[in-house]
Structure 1
Amino acid sequence: MVAGRYEEADDEARIAAELAVSVDDPAPVYWADNDRGIIAFNQGRYEDAEEFLRRAAEGARRDGSDSAEASALGNLSRIQLALDRVEKAIDLARQGVGIYERIGHTLRLANARYALGVALTQAGRHTDALEQLSEAMELFEANRQRLWQGTTHYRIAQTHLAAHRPARAAQHCEQALAIGCIGGDRIRGIVQITLGRALSTLGQADRARACWLEAKSLLDPAGAPEAEEARELLGAEVTV
């Protein structure tokens, strides 16, 4: 899944869940549902993702696994954002943060703060978002999670761009591309879209176009829904 090979990852998660059901072992089932929810989200199948993640959260709660429940809640928060249910997304992410703070799981707390930061960005609460994302970055760095550091740089870039700070957004996008991100070519293409937007706002039209061309070349083969955004930006030929 980290490499962006979602169909293969989904098959593996499905098989793992089927085997776990056959031996009446609940934990692999809700962890597989969690993984399949993430995969469906990355493929743009939001209704499927929501169903998988609700099942994951409920299964973990029944089994008494606080960590697994919090993970599913954080991922479910991302689905709510995709469906434009921003306040629900913030509430779910805060629940995840609260669970991890209570049980003292620092790496997972980083993921929860990341999810909350993303939700707060979409709500337009940029200062609060940057606080959560910066704390997540520190935890990822302390746990040597470089790909998550890169991904968090991208989210910080999004927040700065939304707050009309394109130069800082471009800087964080470049750091994300240099470090690498979770999600393979798809996320790299999405970062290139954001970098192009920042550069275009700064009046660097040629560099912006190069970013969008690179994004298209990465996103088209993956069948990513964001490929259409890259094509639209290339066709617009205007500052965005």
Structure 2
Amino acid sequence: MPLAIRIVAARALELPDRSLGELVDELSQGRRLDAFAGSDGPDTNLRTVFSWSYRSLSAPAAGLFWRLALHPGQSVGTPAVAALAGVDLSRARELAGELTRASLLHRTGPDRYQFHDLVGAYATELAGAPEHVEERRLALRRVLDWYLHTVDAAERLLQPHRPRFDPTPPPLVEPLRFDSYADALSWCEAERSSLVPVVRAAAANGLPGHAWQVALAASAYWYIAKRREDWLAAGEIGLAATRSLGDRRAEGALLMRTATALCESRRYPEAIELYQDSLRVQEASGYRDWRPTTLNSLAVAHAEAGRPDHALATFALARDEHRLQGNRWGEGVALQNMAQCHALLGEPEKAVARHEEALTAVRDCGDRYAEAICIANLGEAHAELGDHERAIRRFREAAQLHVSTGNAHGRARTLLALGRSLTGRGDTDAARSCWREALAVFDELGDPEADEIRALLREPATPA
């Protein structure tokens, strides 16, 4: 924006005792447009310049302009634009196009838009006008409804076998529906930067039910993508929301999912404590649908914390409770985890047998995400028995499945294991290629397994 640059320069010359850094700091605080209110008249005041563009808009586009300031995220997709404006997609595109032509909105990609920071500050000022109080409330409710029901639709494809709550209240606008797992995952990736702000905005604007429900539903995506910081931040806000409502069922479920985020972050003592809290809250609420899943997850934390005996007993309890509920998927997941415990206990033959049982169960349920993990774990059991050829076949099969389910972290772990088996048969060049590919993923996710791979790559390129 050349005009903004000119005004910054003029402002800096006008105030020679202030550094550019101080001007930037002023911009980052509260009413950022105040930093650009020049003393030479309206032509050097950004508010005035923006108001010229704003007054030239049609009434519907002007209404959309300030409503866009209510969107919690950094960028906004056309369906969310439609929700804010209370119009259909076609009309939303028309209005967004008018704002773009007026240089009040920037198009960042197909059906996606973003404010320049200073334009956004101007829109926020307009949105705060007293005459907009009621429509501000309705527009925010519409867009939060849209996110709640859309992320719920995504969760139903990403983790279809997990216990769930039907979202309430009914939406004021039509949410998205997804045709496939890939579509649901793609939407979550596109909205990744908005999900935690949506939870935060709901909690801050008197909609705690929206806050905890979005936090719970979005945890399916955060689990798959391993976005643990987002998951933990939303979990904290969501838990506070459940407690403000006195909703013990919701609290028990969200405690369990937040504990899983801690477990995924390798904070095992904290995870175990939170899983146990979840079980107590579930017992007190009388809502036991989540209990077998919570037991399974608690056992995972015990296994990762180095207590495979204790974990094996808890997995067996989870398996039995899943069977009582007729939950074949839950049974398969518990069997898979029992197999991992047998491997930790130095019982690879038992591990292979359990993995085969688990693989049959998760395939029966059509869960390709769990299937890929199970196949990779089966490969590790074969490798432990010294059967590297069979292990390599399993690892390659799992790596391909991980691609189709969007599990980059799972693929990286599988490539790490594949590299070890390739080394075991003397193919060190292929092994190092696998490790370099895995390293890029672990680095992007901030996963400590990156250090393990760096150590492997520093070793001489000779067969193990």
Matched, 1:103 2:282: no
Structure 2 match to 1:50: 232
Instruction: Report what 1:123 is aligned to.
Output: 305
Deviations 1:79-103 (A, max 9, x none): 1122221110110111111112233
Q: 2:281 & 2:313 partners in 1: Cα distance?
A: 19
The aligned residue for residue 208 of structure 1 is 391
What is the CA-CA distance between 1:76 and the residue it aligns to?
1.3
Identity of aligned residues (%): 21
- 2:401 aligned with 1:218: yes
**Contact persistence 1:37–1:50 (CA under 8 A):** no
Partner of residue 79, structure 1 = 261
After the TM superposition, which residues 70-219 of structure 1 pair with which residues of structure 2 at under 5 Å, given as runs?
A: 70-180=252-362, 184-219=367-402
Deviation for aligned residue 1:2: 2.1
Following superposition, the deviation at residue 210 of structure 1 comes to 1.2
Would you say the 8 A contact 1:57–1:70 is kept in 2? no
Q: Give the conservation status (yes or no) of the 8 Å contact 1:189–1:218.
A: yes
Greater relative CO, 1 or 2 (CA 8 Å, sep 6+): 1
Offset at residue 119 of structure 1 (A): 0.8
Return the offset for 1:183.
9.0
- SS state at 1:179 partner: helix
- Are the equivalent residues in 1 in contact too, given 2:215–2:238 (CA < 8 A)? yes
Please tell me whether the aligned partners of residues 67 and 99 of structure 1 are also in contact (alpha carbons under 8 angstroms): yes
Structure 1 residues without counterparts, runs of 5 or longer: none
Q: Is the 1:114–1:136 Cα contact (8 Å) retained in structure 2?
A: yes
Unaligned runs of 5+ in 2: 1-157, 161-180, 426-463
CA distance in 2, matches of 1:234, 1:118: 23
Tell which deviates more after alignment, 112-121 or 221-230: 221-230
4+ residue segments displaced more than 6 Å: none
CA pair 142-167 structure 1, distance change in 2 beyond 3 A? same
Do the aligned partners of residues 143 and 191 (structure 1) sit closer, same or farther apart at CA in structure 2, a change above 3 Å counting? same
Change in Cα spacing, 1:86 to 1:193, as seen in structure 2 (3 Å) is same
Q: How much does 1:162 deviate?
A: 1.7
Hey, what's the Cα distance between the residues in 2 that align with 1:229 and 1:70? 31
The TM-score with structure 2 as length reference comes to 0.47
Give the letter for the 2:313 counterpart: E
Higher helix share: 1
CA RMSD of aligned residues (A): 2.8
